[in-house]
Structure 1
Amino acid sequence: MDLNDQQISGLIVRVENVMYVPHLDTPKDKSFAFVYFITVKNNAKVTVTIKGRKWVVREADGECTVVEGAGVVGETPTIEPGGEFTYNSYHVVQHESEVQGALFGTTESGGLFSVRIPDFKLRIPFSGA
C-alpha cells in the first residue's frame, strides 16, 4: 500500500483472544506457540476485501520478526456493510513478545485502505518447576 491508503471509518478489528498453546509443534529456536483470534467488523457503508496483512513481532531479547503476505489464513475475504469475518492463526516465539499488525485491502470502488490490528502481548506462563 502507498501514502494514498485511506482509513475507513467504521471498519473495526478486534483481537478476541490470545492463548498460549503448549501442545503445538514448534521449532527448537521458537518453542512457545500462541494462537490468536481476530474479528474484522464492517460498520462502514462500503464493501471491503482484505488483500493482505503485516505483523511485527518484537521479542523481549530484541529480535524482531516481520511477517507479511497475501490475504489472511489463505483467504481474501470480502466483507459487506454490517458483516464480519473471524479467523484464527498463530505466532511462535522464544521470548515474551509484543505484536503489532495491520490489514490491507480494497473497497468495492477500487480504493486502497489499511486498518490497524490492536497491539497484543504474548506472555509465556511461568512453569513453576
Structure 2
Amino acid sequence: MPNSSQQLPGLLVQLDDLRYQYGGPGVPARTPHVFIYFLTITNLSDRAVHLLGRKWIIQEEGGETIVVEGDKIVGEEPKLLPGEHFSYNSFHVGSCSATARGSFHGVDQFGEKIHCLIPEFEMRIPGE
C-alpha cells in the first residue's frame, strides 16, 4: 500500500514527567482535573524525519473515549536529523482519571510516510 504509514524503528517517544493540578484559572468546574505531560521524541533512526501531526486516544475511567487528531505538534512541525530530539509539554483536562496513548506522524527524508507510537500512560488523580 503506497499510502500507508510505516512505524520507523528508532523513532522513539518518552514520557519525561507527568504532573497533576486541580482546577485553576480557566479550568471548567465539570472537568477540574488537569494532567500536564512532558514528552521527548528522539530520532535514533538512520534517516531524517519531518513530523507533521499527532493522534491521541484518551480512555477515561467512565468509559468515554476521546480521539484528538490534528496537524502539527504544539504548533510546530519538528524536523529531526538522526540523533536529534524534540521535547515539549501539553495537557489534558478531564473529569476523571484516564489512560492516554497515540502516535506522531510525518515523512522521512525520502518522502515515505512514517509514524511512531506514544507509549500508553496513566493519568491518575492523586488519592484515587
- CA distance in 1 between counterparts of 2:114 and 2:6 reads 5
- CA distance in 1 between counterparts of 2:109 and 2:84 reads 14
Aligned to 1:94: 95
- CA distance in 2 between counterparts of 1:3 and 1:21 reads 41
Partner SS, residue 66 of structure 2: strand
Deviates more, 1:22-31 or 1:5-14: 22-31
- Please state how far the C-alpha of 1:15 moved relative to its aligned partner: 0.8
TM-score by length of 2: 0.92
Q: How many residue pairs align between the two structures?
A: 126
- Please state how far the C-alpha of 1:3 moved relative to its aligned partner: 6.2
- CA distance in 1 between counterparts of 2:27 and 2:90 reads 14
- CA distance in 2 between counterparts of 1:58 and 1:3 reads 28
- Please state how far the C-alpha of 1:20 moved relative to its aligned partner: 0.4
Give 4+ residue runs of structure 1 displaced > 3 Å after superposition: none
Supply the AA of the counterpart residue of 2:82.
Answer: P
Aligned to 1:16: 16
CA RMSD for the aligned pairs? 1.6
Aligned to 2:104: 103
- Please state how far the C-alpha of 1:41 moved relative to its aligned partner: 0.6
Aligned residue runs from structure 1 range 1-129, under 5 A: 4-22=4-22, 24=24, 25-126=26-127
Partner SS, residue 88 of structure 1: strand
**Stretches of structure 2 lacking an aligned partner (at least 5 in a row):** none
**Stretches of structure 1 lacking an aligned partner (at least 5 in a row):** none
